[in-house]
């Protein structure tokens, strides 16, 4: 079940568009925040409130890389490895996350503290290598800096 606040939020989003269908992407974000990932219950909730078949909602959501299609750790580390980040050492940082935090690309550490997602360009090329942790940008990354950053997330 969605919370009362989430239902209100989706209804407010719905009012910004001429069709209910157009509210689908933002509504999926709200449901994902409520359920932690796009669980069957999340699809059920979005489908009910917007009057869109679950199969359609799932078919649309699975096109997009940034939705959480499976349960994830408490914090999501999104590291860019595209060209500008790659030539400034992003691949070594992938190895570092593997060795230091047991984080495999696409995986979650044994404590469920972090999940690692390898990103295509996050628009921080001038301050590469870069990553997002949840919604926070971190740039000019080094191994030492990553340790410092991740220490803040429990």
Instruction: Report the interface residues with other proteins, using CB under 8 A.
Output: 16, 18-19, 21-26, 28-29, 52, 59-61, 63-67, 78, 81-84, 86-88, 119-128, 132, 135, 137
User: Whose Cβ is closer to other proteins: residue 64's or residue 110's?
Assistant: 64
Instruction: Say how far apart CA 1 and CA 125 lie, in whole Å.
Output: 40
Nearest-approach distance from CB 33 to other proteins, in angstroms: 12
User: Whose Cβ is closer to other proteins: residue 53's or residue 110's?
Assistant: 53
Nearest-approach distance from CB 100 to other proteins, in angstroms: 21
Beta sheet of 136-138, edge-to-edge order: 114-119, 75-80, 131-133, 136-138
The full DSSP string for 8-63 is HHHHHHHTTSSSSGGGHHHHHHHHHHHHSS--HHHHHHHHHHHT--HHHHHHHHTT
User: Whose Cβ is closer to other proteins: residue 102's or residue 127's?
Assistant: 127
């Amino acid at each position: 079940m969605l919370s009362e606040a989430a239902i209100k939020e989706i209804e407010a989003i719905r009012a910004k568009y001429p069709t209910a269908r157009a509210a689908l992407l933002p509504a999926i974000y709200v449901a994902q925040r409520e359920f932690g990932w796009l669980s069957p219950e999340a699809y059920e909730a979005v489908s009910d409130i917007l009057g869109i078949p679950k199969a359609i909602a799932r078919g649309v959501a699975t096109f997009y890389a940034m939705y959480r299609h499976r349960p994830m750790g408490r914090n999501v580390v999104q590291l860019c490895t595209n060209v500008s980040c790659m030539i400034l050492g992003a691949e070594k940082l992938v190895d570092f996350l593997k060795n230091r935090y047991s984080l495999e690309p696409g995986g979650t550490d044994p404590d469920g503290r972090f999940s690692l997602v390898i990103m295509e360009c996050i628009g921080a090329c001038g301050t590469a290598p870069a990553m997002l942790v949840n919604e926070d940008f971190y740039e000019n990354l080094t191994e030492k800096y990553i340790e410092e950053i991740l220490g803040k997330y429990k």
